[in-house]
Amino acid sequence: MFFKKLYFSVILTVFTVFSGSSQDYFLESKEPFNPEIPSPEVFLGYAIGEQHTRHDLIVAYFEKLAEISDRATIEVYGKTHEHRKLVMLSVSSHENLQNLNSLQESHLKFSNPNLSPTNYNEIPIFINLGYGVHGNEPSSSEAAMLVAYTLVASNSTEVLNYLKNAVVFIDPAINPDGRDRHTNWVNQLRANSLVSDPLDAEHNETWPRGRTNHYWFDLNRDWLLAVNPESIGKLNWYHKWYPNVVTDFHEMGTNSTYFFEPMKPIGSENPIMPKENYEDLNSLFAPYFSKALDSVGSFYFTKEAFDGTYPGYGSSYPDLQGGLALLFEQASSRGLIQDTEFEKITFPFTIRNQYVSSFSTLKAAVENKEYLRKYQQNFFKSTQLKFPKNSTVAYEFGDSFDKNRTKYFIDKLLIHKIKVFKNGDKFVVPLNQPQKRMVQTVFETYNKYRDSVFYDASAWSLNNFYNMPSRALKNVTLGEELNDTKDLVQVSKVDKTAYSYILDWDDYNSAAALYFFQSQGIKVASAFKPFTIITTEGLKKFNYGTIMIPVSKQKKSSIEVYEIVKNAQEKFDVPIYAVNSGFSSVGIDLGSNNLKAIKKPKAAILIGEGVNSSEAGEVWHLLDTRIHMPITKIRINSFSRASLEKYNTIVMVSGNYNYLDSLQIGKLKRWVSSGNTLITIAGASNWVIDKKIVKENLTKSPKKDSLVERLPYVDASENNGRERLGGAIFEVDLDVTHPLGFGYRSNILPIYKNNSVFLSPSKNAYSTVAKYASNPHIDGYISNKNLEENLKPSASLIVSSLGQGSVIMFADNPNFRGAWYGTNRLFYNALFLGSEISVPRN
Ligand SMILES: [Zn+2]
């Protein structure tokens, strides 16, 4: 029976691929259709499932629907890095769309904890069908076109009922840049005689593949971090609508079947998300999905996999906003047709499952309208519950040494509609507010788990990402509410001087200002010791790493230098001071040998097959978007013909560098030895040690007992998963007098670890810049074994000399997901000061 059913559905789909003349395979249950509305097939000139559809055509089709139908309107909610439009098609009955503003107003009353409307059934339910966050999981965006067509053109009783009782917001492609990267790949390699062999190039994209966006970021991690325009646009849209139900359609391995929720239970013991969400709501919806998939003969699984613990997924963030977010995963055909362990899986077959699940979502939402509205209302009401005595009622934060980093942190809070108040120098976030659960998400840390295997990160306390000094308050004075951060950073305008300008290195934006100076041909020096000096604004104390511009030593006139300095200050809002005398009142004078001239970085990064594209993308994104510095992306297979003399800094991230043979490794070593800087991140730090490019070691695990305990076979994957470090936050002890630690005021620094790179502290007393603290756990899951045997004895950041140059080894990724503002500074220091770091003798 099992085989027969599957066989039948597969045969049917193959037939449809070849016939290509009709979309009945998808649409027949929704007849009759308005003939005046073009189907995707009529509009595109090919049937859905016959080839992969380019993003601009998806947008054009949606624009067409909005133009000719009174059931649809379209909105552009953002633009991608590559300037593709992010669109949302709103579909409902003509009457609902005409009254959309007042419906929105009534709908939003349910998410206002101070109001208590009871007209649960009078307002249509708000549903957001989101498709294609991963660009190379192509079935869902094709299904989006069929769903839009069906809703706009079908006059079946079923569809008319949905239109009356729901407003459906269709986002056909959350990640257009990745989508087109994959679409173009498949379309250029597909043949007229379809090739189902999984080894065919059509099914195997080259690096970096289409999953991620322009900078190779996984947008399905970015809902919380809001680093990319795709997520920022979506969040701005989201907080205007608070949909009751949100879908997130994906694809998984070709040999799998289909997945819908419930997922594995939430990993943390005290999840912020209400239990009703993943218990009651999911069990309410699941029968709709199973029934619909059974009816088309599709197989599926639930409960065994995926967890919604991390709040930055498309299938978890809406759960923290009083909605129900739903994850769907379809086995991928990737290209048009592919062999599986059973038979062949076709593109139309995968599209049909997503189409079927889209409509069962609509059915479930409409039939449970009242329940979902009450749920959302209770969700927001529960944020107003009285606090027990002596509990935390607010968080206070702020870093007066780094106003821009503080501002960026506040920007992140505001995008999640967290209320922030300014009270003197400090900022306050009360827990008593509709976004209480987001406040908890940002500030609370966890160490108790019901499960030990996480699908992704188990730590996401954003205040640690930003290294933001903060504390919990038992009572609170709020101060004035911030609506935006426009005027938050006020720097006093720098005076003109003929002697010297001083740039405070403590500010996050100073790295961008420094590169701006260097790119304008200004020579600068970095202070390797602190000093206190009279500026035109009075006596100022400057930290390690302060940047000094000696005016008379420039090739430009003092007026030209002033213009550049003023310009940098206006661009980056950085603290810059003018001084008229080099004599300090404390510490080094401005002519000291401890003010070291620093070189402009000429950077390259190795990329390509085998390299971790996320880590590489994070470096590219940081330099390109935050400090506006070009970086050459060298494919590993071009390394042998690269003239390395053009660069003084090379970055290597985790990856497989087997392509670099001993000849290439020798070339790299010679280049470092002649005075250049190699920065290695995570796995690449292992690699330089393995290849003996540096004389450092990895920590050795204690020898295992020869007697192995017998364990149940079924537990193997759970047991092995337990030792994986999915992503957690630890405290390191940083040497703030080391150039790599410049600009930090405290030796305590939170870092993010999601690997098993454990570096031995160096034998050189001055090389271990950051070591894990004696009690390092801050947030997230780590097994006791990993913590005690591997992490505690190891180092997070070491630097090693090689000839005249140095190798800077990060065990942990300082640029994780573009969101680690707190540790970016370590990387900036490596980039700008690397050439000035010499390792003293023991
Ligand atoms: Zn996916």
How large is the greatest C-alpha to C-alpha distance in the chain, in angstroms? 90
Query: Measured in angstroms, how far is the CA atom of residue 553 from the centroid of ligand 1?
Result: 55
Query: Measured in angstroms, how far is the CA atom of residue 625 from the centroid of ligand 1?
Result: 26
Query: Measured in angstroms, how far is the CA atom of residue 327 from the centroid of ligand 1?
Result: 9
Query: Measured in angstroms, how far is the CA atom of residue 328 from the centroid of ligand 1?
Result: 9
Query: Measured in angstroms, how far is the CA atom of residue 330 from the centroid of ligand 1?
Result: 9
Query: Measured in angstroms, how far is the CA atom of residue 260 from the centroid of ligand 1?
Result: 13
Which pLDDT score, from 0 to 100, does residue 9 have? 45
Query: Measured in angstroms, how far is the CA atom of residue 351 from the centroid of ligand 1?
Result: 15
Query: Measured in angstroms, how far is the CA atom of residue 252 from the centroid of ligand 1?
Result: 7
Query: Measured in angstroms, how far is the CA atom of residue 254 from the centroid of ligand 1?
Result: 13
Which pLDDT score, from 0 to 100, does residue 269 have? 65
Query: Measured in angstroms, how far is the CA atom of residue 435 from the centroid of ligand 1?
Result: 27
Query: Measured in angstroms, how far is the CA atom of residue 71 from the centroid of ligand 1?
Result: 30
Query: Measured in angstroms, how far is the CA atom of residue 132 from the centroid of ligand 1?
Result: 8
pTM (2 decimals)?
Answer: 0.95
Query: Measured in angstroms, how far is the CA atom of residue 778 from the centroid of ligand 1?
Result: 29
Query: Measured in angstroms, how far is the CA atom of residue 783 from the centroid of ligand 1?
Result: 27
Query: Measured in angstroms, how far is the CA atom of residue 829 from the centroid of ligand 1?
Result: 35
Query: Measured in angstroms, how far is the CA atom of residue 610 from the centroid of ligand 1?
Result: 20
Query: Measured in angstroms, how far is the CA atom of residue 623 from the centroid of ligand 1?
Result: 27
| Helix or strand holding residue 506 (H, E) | none
Distance, CA of 532 to CA of 585 (rounded, Å): 6
Q: Long-range pairs for 154-158 at CB < 8 Å and ≥24 separation? A: 154/27, 154/30, 154/31, 154/32, 154/33, 154/34, 155/32, 155/33, 155/34, 156/29, 156/30, 156/31, 156/32, 158/30, 158/363
Query: Measured in angstroms, how far is the CA atom of residue 287 from the centroid of ligand 1?
Result: 23
Query: Measured in angstroms, how far is the CA atom of residue 221 from the centroid of ligand 1?
Result: 11
Query: Dihedral through CA 402, CA 407, CA 410, CA 414, nearest 10?
Result: -170
Q: Please identify which residue in the block is written with the tokens 């100076």.
A: 517
Query: Measured in angstroms, how far is the CA atom of residue 307 from the centroid of ligand 1?
Result: 13
Query: Measured in angstroms, how far is the CA atom of residue 219 from the centroid of ligand 1?
Result: 10
Query: Measured in angstroms, how far is the CA atom of residue 141 from the centroid of ligand 1?
Result: 12
3-state DSSP assignment of residue 501: strand
Query: Measured in angstroms, how far is the CA atom of residue 138 from the centroid of ligand 1?
Result: 10
Burial class of residue 417 (count of CB atoms within 10 Å of its CB; 0-12, 13-18, 19+): middle
Contacts of 128 (CB under 8 A, 6+ apart): 169, 171, 238, 241, 243, 245, 246, 247, 318
pLDDT tens across 151-164, in order?
999 999 999 999 99
Query: Measured in angstroms, how far is the CA atom of residue 137 from the centroid of ligand 1?
Result: 6
Query: Measured in angstroms, how far is the CA atom of residue 178 from the centroid of ligand 1?
Result: 12
Query: Measured in angstroms, how far is the CA atom of residue 142 from the centroid of ligand 1?
Result: 15
Backbone angles phi, psi at 582, to 5 degrees: -85, 0
DSSP 290-322: HHHHHHTT---B-SSS----STTSTTTGGGGGT
Query: Measured in angstroms, how far is the CA atom of residue 176 from the centroid of ligand 1?
Result: 14
Query: Measured in angstroms, how far is the CA atom of residue 709 from the centroid of ligand 1?
Result: 37
Query: Measured in angstroms, how far is the CA atom of residue 211 from the centroid of ligand 1?
Result: 7
Query: Measured in angstroms, how far is the CA atom of residue 209 from the centroid of ligand 1?
Result: 13
DSSP 42-84: HHHSS-TTSSPPPHHHHHHHHHHHHHH-TTEEEEEEEE-TT-P
Query: Measured in angstroms, how far is the CA atom of residue 471 from the centroid of ligand 1?
Result: 37
Query: Measured in angstroms, how far is the CA atom of residue 202 from the centroid of ligand 1?
Result: 19
Which pLDDT score, from 0 to 100, does residue 6 have? 40
Distance, CA of 57 to CA of 686 (rounded, Å): 45
Which pLDDT score, from 0 to 100, does residue 529 have? 98
Reading the block at residue 271, the tokens are 């999840």
Query: Measured in angstroms, how far is the CA atom of residue 380 from the centroid of ligand 1?
Result: 30
Distance, CA of 286 to CA of 270 (rounded, Å): 24
Contacts of 386 (CB under 8 A, 6+ apart): none
Query: Measured in angstroms, how far is the CA atom of residue 388 from the centroid of ligand 1?
Result: 41
Which pLDDT score, from 0 to 100, does residue 716 have? 79
Query: Measured in angstroms, how far is the CA atom of residue 269 from the centroid of ligand 1?
Result: 26
Query: Measured in angstroms, how far is the CA atom of residue 685 from the centroid of ligand 1?
Result: 29
DSSP 395-436: EEE--TT-HHHHHHHHHHHHHTT---EEETTEEEEESSSTTH
Q: Long-range pairs for 94-99 at CB < 8 Å and ≥24 separation? A: 94/70, 96/124, 96/163, 96/164, 96/167, 97/70, 97/71, 97/72, 97/73, 97/167
Query: Measured in angstroms, how far is the CA atom of residue 312 from the centroid of ligand 1?
Result: 13
Query: Measured in angstroms, how far is the CA atom of residue 250 from the centroid of ligand 1?
Result: 4
Average pLDDT of adjacent 10-residue blocks, the chain of 842 residues: 40 41 84 96 96 98 98 98 98 98 98 97 97 98 98 98 98 98 97 96 97 98 98 98 98 96 77 80 95 97 87 94 97 96 95 98 98 97 88 96 98 98 95 96 84 74 97 94 95 97 98 98 98 98 98 97 98 98 98 97 98 98 98 97 97 96 97 97 97 91 69 79 86 98 98 96 95 96 92 97 96 98 98 91 80
Query: Measured in angstroms, how far is the CA atom of residue 249 from the centroid of ligand 1?
Result: 7
CB 5 within 8 A of CB 293: no
Q: If you compute the radius of gyration of the chain from its CA atoms, what whole number of angstroms results?
A: 29
**Residue type present at position 505:** W
Beta partners for residue 502, in sequence order: 548, 577
3-state DSSP assignment of residue 487: coil
Query: Measured in angstroms, how far is the CA atom of residue 332 from the centroid of ligand 1?
Result: 10
Contacts of 680 (CB under 8 A, 6+ apart): 651, 652, 653, 687, 688, 807, 808, 809, 810
Distance, CA of 616 to CA of 479 (rounded, Å): 42
As a residue count, the chain comes to: 842
Distance, CA of 37 to CA of 64 (rounded, Å): 9
Reading the block at residue 275, the tokens are 């239990």
* Closest C-alpha to 693, from 685, 683, 703: 685
Query: Measured in angstroms, how far is the CA atom of residue 303 from the centroid of ligand 1?
Result: 17
809-837: string of b/e by CB count within 10 Å (b at 16+)?
Answer: bbbbbbbbbbbbbbbbbbbbbbbbbbbbb
Query: Measured in angstroms, how far is the CA atom of residue 634 from the centroid of ligand 1?
Result: 28
Query: Measured in angstroms, how far is the CA atom of residue 456 from the centroid of ligand 1?
Result: 13
Q: Give, rounded to a whole angstrom, the gap between the first and last alpha carbons of the chain.
A: 74
* Closest C-alpha to 761, from 723, 735, 742, 785: 735
